[in-house]
Structures are given as C-alpha cells and as structure tokens.
Amino acid sequence: MSTTAPRRDERSDPRYARPDASMSLLTNVMEHSLDEGYAEEARRSGRYGSSRLPGTLRGKLLLGLGLAMVATILSMGVSQVQRSAPVAAQQRQELINRINQSTTTADGTQQQVAQLQAQLDQARRTAASGSGSTQLDLLELVTGTTPVSGPGITVTVDDAASAGTDLNNASPRAGAGFGNTGRVRDSDLQLVVNALWQSGAEAVAINEQRLTNLSAIRAAGDAILVNDHPLTLPYTVQAVGGPTLQQNFQDNAYGGLYLAQLKQEFQIRYDVSAQGGLSLPAATVGPLLNAHPSPSEGTKQP
Amino acid sequence: MIAVLGLVVGVVVGLFVQPDIPAAWVPYLPIAIVAALDAVFGGVRAMLDGIFSDKVFVVSFLSNVVVAALIVFLGDQLGVGSQLSTGVVVVLGIRIFSNAAAIRRHLFRA
C-alpha cells in the first residue's frame, strides 16, 4: 500500500526522511546563518528586498546605538587582552623572581651547612685536644673501657696444695667444691679486691678481666666468675697504683693480713709483688639499656 | 552619520573609559565578542539582502551576546565550560563564515 504512494509526497510523509536528517543540526546552522528575524521584519513592513539603511531618525539612532555597543564590546575585549598580557608577563616575572630568590636561599643554606660542618669539625678537633678529651680519657680509665698501663702490684692467689685443684690446673670446675676449706672462695677475692681499692688502686683486673662498675665477682658452681667469665687458677689480681699501694695493701685488714690469715689457717697460697709496668686490658662493656643520664643532676666532674 | 558616530563613541568608550567589568564576567567577554561579530556580519548581509531592520539588529546583537555568555556560564557551572564555549565558537564561526560568503557574493558577484 504505502509503496505505491506518489513520490511527490515523500517530503511531507514522515516515513520518508531526508537523507541528511541525521545532520539536521549542521544543515540548520549552514542554511540559516542569517537571523530569521530580518526576513520576518522585512516581510511585515512590506519592504522585502529594499530595506537597506534605516531612513527614520529613530532607526538611525537605534542602528547607531547598536553599532556603539558592538564597538564598545570589541574594543573592550581588545583592551582586556592588552591589559591582561602585561599582567601575565608580570606574574611570570614574579614567579621567576621567586624561583631565583628560593634558589639563592637554598644556595645560602647550603653554604651555611658547609660552614657549620666545618665549625663542627673544628670544635671536635678542639675538644679532642682540649679538656674535653682529658675528661673523656679519665672517664674511660675510671670505667675501665680503655686499656691502662702503669706501675702497680700483682696479687696471685691460689688454692691450697691439699685442695687437689693443682692436678687439673686449668679446669677448676672439675676440682673439689667450695666446701673444701683449701679453696679460694669468691668472697676471698672480693675482699682482696676491696682491699686493693681501699689501698689506692686505680685499676684492677683479675686474670685479664678488667673490673668495672658493672663487674661482679661471684661463684657459679665450682668456679669464680668475673664479668661472667669463669676464672682459672691461679687467680692473678693486677692493680695499678702508686708506690704506697703495696704497703697499704699489706697492712689492710682484708688485704695482706687476711691473705696471711688464710695461708696460715688453710694453706692458701698467695704472693704479692710490685710491678713496674702493668698492662691491664679494657673491659668489654655492653650498651646500657635502661640507665640514662639524669638531666636534673648534671654531670659531676670526677 | 549617526551610525559612524555610534561606532566612534563605542570605540572611545571601550578603549578609554574602560567600563569596569566584574571579574566574574571577564571569561565570557571573548564569547560575547564572537557573538557580537556574528550579529554584525548578519546585519551587513541583511543590509545587502535589502531586508535590514535596525530593531532586529540591536535585539539580535543583545540576545546573541547574552545567550552566548549564558551558555558558557552554564557550562562552567556544569563543568563543561570549555567544551561548550568551543561549541558556541564553532556554531557562531560557521554563521560568520557563511554570512561573510553571502556578503562576498553580493559585493563581488562571485
């Protein structure tokens, strides 16, 4: 039915769309570039095709007003662009200035860092050669974290020959227990060391185990432990001190007199001799985990 | 005469008086200018076609400028401002070109 419809009706028939219907928007833009209002107005006034410039004064004024508005908006736009260009350039220049300024500041800071580094090096060098290093050395000596050498005495203490520990000299653990009265006990060594400190010893080591403020002389099983190291016989106590150290020690109640008592009663063997040049090793002190310098107390000069 | 005077006054006002445009309106000025150009070319073509109307010219100019700026403003609010302004410029550019072609045909018969 519909296929027999006349061709001239195609355009009015909605079933027959224009081939460029999908481009109607573009077609509209292309074909109706002129405002429809002009044609309508011309048709209404009956001057279609002959209306060129307005003849009336009112029309002329309106055209002048319109052209004035057009000229205003155009020149405003131009001046806006002209004005914003220097602003943009100014902002750009400002940014460049800020970059340069920041670069200069960074350079200055870098120089300052280098200067402070040099100052720090200088200060460290000064401290190393001045009183600070003396104090540090002293503290290291006192705490036993540095090897020391100097004159002093050596106190050698050994079990009584009857204790039977001589046979397995290097292994006190295999010997008789501390119940044997012929054996040197940890408390004996503690007393001897205390006597040495009292007599003016400045550094003490037992069997190459340097005594520090963290050292303990204790018994574990059949062995005497210093700094948690088991000692082997004989016990050699080295003490650095002045020339009066030996005499003081011999006269001390828990020094020479006590050892003499032990020798007399239990046949403990001991020997005290002055040494010209003793060399005491440094103690291996682990890091302190809980002790911190108290800020309120300040540091006391040793 | 009055038309030329209007043009001169407009240029003087735009260049030297420099009316303060609110900063929020500044981005829409280029679009308004393109719309104004479209109205001007349309007016010239209508004049050459012999169907010019001062009323239509002024009204079409004002509505073009306002609508173009409004469309771009709306696009800015929706986040498609640059795309919409491109679209507006494309449409107005096509109209300007076809009007200019019509003017050329009128003036040069080619």
Residue-wise DSSP of B25-40: GGGGHHHHHHHHHHHH
Hey, is A278 helix, strand or coil?
A: strand
- Residue A100 has what DSSP assignment? H
Parallel, antiparallel, or unpaired: how do β-strands A217-220 and A209-210 relate? unpaired
Q: Could you state, in order of their start, the residue ranges of all structural domains in chain A? A: 148-280
Chain A positions in Cβ-Cβ contact with residue B58 (cut-off 8 Å)? 62-63, 65-66, 69
CATH class of A148-280: alpha beta
Phi, psi torsion values for A230, nearest 5 degrees: -70, 140
Residue linked to tokens 């073009």: B64
Chain A positions in Cβ-Cβ contact with residue B10 (cut-off 8 Å)? 67-75
Residue linked to tokens 């007399």: A264
Contact B14 A59 (CB under 8 A): no
Q: What is the pLDDT of residue B55?
A: 85
Q: What is the mean pLDDT of residues B5-17?
A: 82
Q: Is A71 on the interface with B (CB under 8 A)?
A: yes
Q: What is the pLDDT of residue A183?
A: 82
Q: What is the pLDDT of residue B76?
A: 87
Q: Closest to B33 (Cβ–Cβ): which among A51, A53, A77?
A: A77
CB neighbours of residue B107 within 10 Å:
10
Q: ∠ CA(A296), CA(A298), CA(A299), 5° rounding? A: 155
- Report how far residue B16's alpha carbon sits from residue B18's, in angstroms, rounded to the nearest whole number: 5
Residue type, A6: P
Residue-wise DSSP of A31-44: HT-S-HHHHHHHHH
Q: What is the pLDDT of residue A125?
A: 67
Q: Is A23 on the interface with B (CB under 8 A)?
A: no
Contact B43 A78 (CB under 8 A): no
Q: Closest to B58 (Cβ–Cβ): which among A48, A65, A79?
A: A65
Q: What is the pLDDT of residue B13?
A: 82
Chain Cα centroid distance, residue A88? 44
Q: Minimum mean pLDDT among A50-59, A260-269, B2-11, B42-51: which range?
A: A50-59
Contact B21 A50 (CB under 8 A): no
- Report how far residue A233's alpha carbon sits from residue A166's, in angstroms, rounded to the nearest whole number: 8
Of A75, A44, A31, A28, the residue nearest B55 (C-alpha): A44
- Report how far residue B101's alpha carbon sits from residue B110's, in angstroms, rounded to the nearest whole number: 9
Q: What is the pLDDT of residue A26?
A: 77
Residue type, A190: Q
Residue type, A118: A
Q: What is the pLDDT of residue A164?
A: 62
Of A165, A169, A199, the residue nearest A268 (C-alpha): A165
Q: What is the pLDDT of residue A3?
A: 46
For chain A, 302 residues long, give each residue's pLDDT as a single digit of tens: 444 444 544 455 566 666 777 777 777 777 777 778 888 888 887 777 776 777 778 888 888 888 888 888 888 888 878 777 788 888 899 999 999 999 899 989 988 988 888 888 777 667 766 666 667 677 777 777 777 888 888 988 888 777 666 555 444 444 455 666 778 888 888 888 888 888 888 888 888 888 888 888 888 877 888 877 778 878 888 888 888 888 888 888 888 888 888 888 888 888 888 888 888 887 776 667 788 877 765 555 54
- Residue A290 has what DSSP assignment? S
- Report how far residue A162's alpha carbon sits from residue A150's, in angstroms, rounded to the nearest whole number: 35
Cβ neighbors of B96 (< 8 A, separation 6 or more) are B34, B37, B38, B41
Residue type, A181: T
* Min Cα separation A34/chain B (Å): 6
Q: Record the pTM.
A: 0.45
Query: pLDDT tens, A143-189?
Result: 777 778 888 889 888 887 776 665 554 444 444 556 667 788 888 88
The partner residues of A273 in beta bridges, in order of sequence, read: A154
Phi, psi torsion values for A209, nearest 5 degrees: -100, 105
